[in-house]
Amino acid sequence: MAREIFEVRDWDGAARLGELTVPRAGVTVETPALLPVVNPHKQTVPPARLQSEFGAEILITNGYILYGSDEFREEALDVGLHDLYEFDGAIMTDSGSFQLAEYGEISVDTEEILRFQHDIGSDIGTPVDIPTPPDVSRERAESELAETERALAEAETVDVGEMLVNAPVQGSTHPALRTAAAEHAYATDLDVFPIGAVVPLLNAYRYDDVVDVVAAAKRGLGADAPVHLFGAGHPMMFALAVAMGCDLFDSAAYALYARDDRYLTVRGTELLADLDYLPCSCPVCAASTPEGLRSEDDDERTRLLAEHNLHVTFEELRRVKQAIRSGSLLELVETRVRGHPTLVDGFRAMLAHAETLEATDPVSKGAFFHLSAESADRPEVLRHQERLERLTVAGDTCLLTTGSGNSDDHDTTWRVVPPFGPFPRALSESYPLTAEVPERLSREAYERAADGVARLVETNPDVTFTFAHHQWPASAVERVPDGVEVQRYGDGTDPRDH
Ligand SMILES: [Zn+2]
C-alpha cells in the first residue's frame, strides 16, 4: 500500500525534497519543512506572522496543553485551531507524550486525545506513545515499545476523518528495536513517522547516536514514509539530519533560546552577552546591534531574538532544499559539521551508513567537491568502487597510473585518481570522476584509491597490473595487493617520459 500523501520530488543521498499532502488543511507542504512550536499561552511570534513573514507552511502545537487549558479549551473546540491561531497552513498537534515522559503520568488516553485533536480541527494528530529515553535497558525499551505499539493499534481504530495521524517510532538507543518499531509503525495505516525521544541526545550533542537512531528507524520505513525528527530545531544540524533522510523538524528552540538570550547561528549558539557583532542580515539584525538588543526590555528582546532565530532557521532550511536540488547537500553537510566536533562525529557516523545513502543517490549530480578527509568515505566513492567489480580490463597487461599519459608497454592504461581509485579513460568526464580535488590531499583519499586498485585487481585475476604513482603515502601504497608491480614517478620510470 503506497502512502499517497507523500511524494518525493528529488533525492540527494538519502535526503529528499518532497511534498506532504495534508488533506484536512487542504494544503501541500514542501519538505524538508520546519514546524515552529506554538505555545498557546505564550505566543512569542503570532502564527499569522509565522506564515506571512517567515513562510511557515505548517506548525505544531500541544493538543494536551489545549485539552487541559481553562483559557483555551472551549475556544479551541468552538472556533477550531485555525481560527484560534489565525493560521491557514497545516497544524500538527502533540498528544501529551512529552508531559508523560516529564511527569510520569497524564490524564488522557490515545482514543480520547485523538478525538479531542480531531474536534479542535488538528490536521495531523498524535497518539499517546511512550518516549523512552536513551541508554535504558533493552527490557525497559522493549516493554515501553509494546505500550507504544498498543497506542498505535488503538489510534487505528479511532475515526478521525481526514486528520492524518502520527505513528511515533521509539526504541531508545537500541538500533534493532528502532528498526522493529519502524517496521511495525509502517505496517499500520497511520501516516507520518516521528522519530521520538532524541531530544536528550541532541541536548548532549550526541550527534553520532542521533545518526544511528535515525538510520535504524529508516531501515524499517519505506521511501514513501514522511519522517519527522521530533524535537530537532537547531539549524546547525539540519543539513546532517536531512542527509540522513529526515523530512520534518519542529522548533521550540527559536523561542526557548530567545528567552535565555541565546542567538542561533548555523555554526552553533551564541550568548547575546558575548556578541560584539551580529553575523546575520535578517531584518532584526540589519536594524540593530548587540548593544541595541541588550538594551531592550525583556519581552521586546525575547521577541526580537526569537525572530532572528526563526529567520536563520528558515534560511538554513531553504539552503538545504537548494542543495538537494543542486545535488550538493553532502558538500553543505561537510561544511556545516565543522561548526562543532560532535557534528564531525555525526558526519562520520553517517558515512558509516554510506551504503544506505548510496541506494537512493542520483547517478549523476553537479560537481563532487572533495572537501575533507571524510570526503573519501562518501557514497559516491563507494558506488564507484562497487562499479569496478563490473568493469572488465581489456588485454593481459594494464598500467594503473596517477599520471595522465598512455603506456606503449601495456595493453591498456587506466587512470587512478584519489579518492575514487582506478577507471578507464573513457569515464574521465563522467560523474563523480569529474570531482574537484585539492592538490594537498589527506592520507585517507590515497588509501581509499588504493582500496579501489585492490578491488580491481581482485576481480581481474588474469591481468598483470603495474601501478605507477607520484609520491603517494606509504600507508596507501601498502594497500596495493602483492603481485602488482609498483613504480614511482621520478625513478626514471615515469610513463609520461616515453
Ligand atoms: Zn538575524
Task: Write the pLDDT tens digit of every residue in 201-239.
Answer: 999 999 999 999 999 999 999 999 999 999 999 999 999
Asked whether residue 249 carries a pLDDT value surpassing 50, the answer given is yes
Asked whether residue 495 carries a pLDDT value surpassing 60, the answer given is no
Asked whether residue 477 carries a pLDDT value surpassing 50, the answer given is yes
Contacts of 392 (CB under 8 A, 6+ apart): 460
Asked whether residue 492 carries a pLDDT value surpassing 60, the answer given is no
Catalytic residue among 12, 94, 123, 377: 94
Q: Which residues participate in the annotated binding site for substrate? A: 129, 197
Q: Which residues participate in the annotated binding site for Zn(2+)? A: 280, 282, 285
Q: How far away, in angstroms, is 72 Cα from ligand 1 center?
A: 32
**Residue carrying C-alpha cell 565543522:** 338
pLDDT in the model for residue 1:
54
pLDDT in the model for residue 491:
55
Q: How far away, in angstroms, is 223 Cα from ligand 1 center?
A: 35
**DSSP character string of 385-434:** HHHHTTPPPPSSEEEEESSS---SSSSEEEEEETTTEEEEGGGTTSTTTT
Q: How far away, in angstroms, is 314 Cα from ligand 1 center?
A: 11
- Residue-wise pLDDT for 124-162, tens only, equals 999 999 999 999 999 999 999 999 999 999 999 999 999
- Residue, of 494 and 484, whose pLDDT is higher: 484
Q: Which residues participate in the annotated binding site? A: 129, 197, 280, 282, 285
Q: How far away, in angstroms, is 273 Cα from ligand 1 center?
A: 15
What is the pLDDT confidence band of residue 497, given thresholds at 50, 70 and 90? very low
pLDDT in the model for residue 106:
80
- Report the mean per-residue pLDDT for the chain: 95
Query: Cα–Cα distance between 403 and 390 in angstroms, integer?
Result: 24
High-pLDDT (> 70) share of the chain, %: 98
**DSSP character string of 354-386:** HHHHHHHS-S--S--B--SGGGGGSHHHHHHHH
pLDDT in the model for residue 373:
95
- Residue, of 101 and 304, whose pLDDT is higher: 304
Q: How large is the average pLDDT for residues 386-398?
A: 93
Q: How large is the average pLDDT for residues 34-56?
A: 95
- Catalytic residue check, 250: no
Q: How far away, in angstroms, is 86 Cα from ligand 1 center?
A: 25
Q: Lowest mean pLDDT: which of 95-104, 263-272, 277-286, 475-484?
A: 95-104
CB atoms inside a 10 Å sphere around CB 89: 21
pLDDT in the model for residue 453:
97
Asked whether residue 494 carries a pLDDT value surpassing 60, the answer given is no
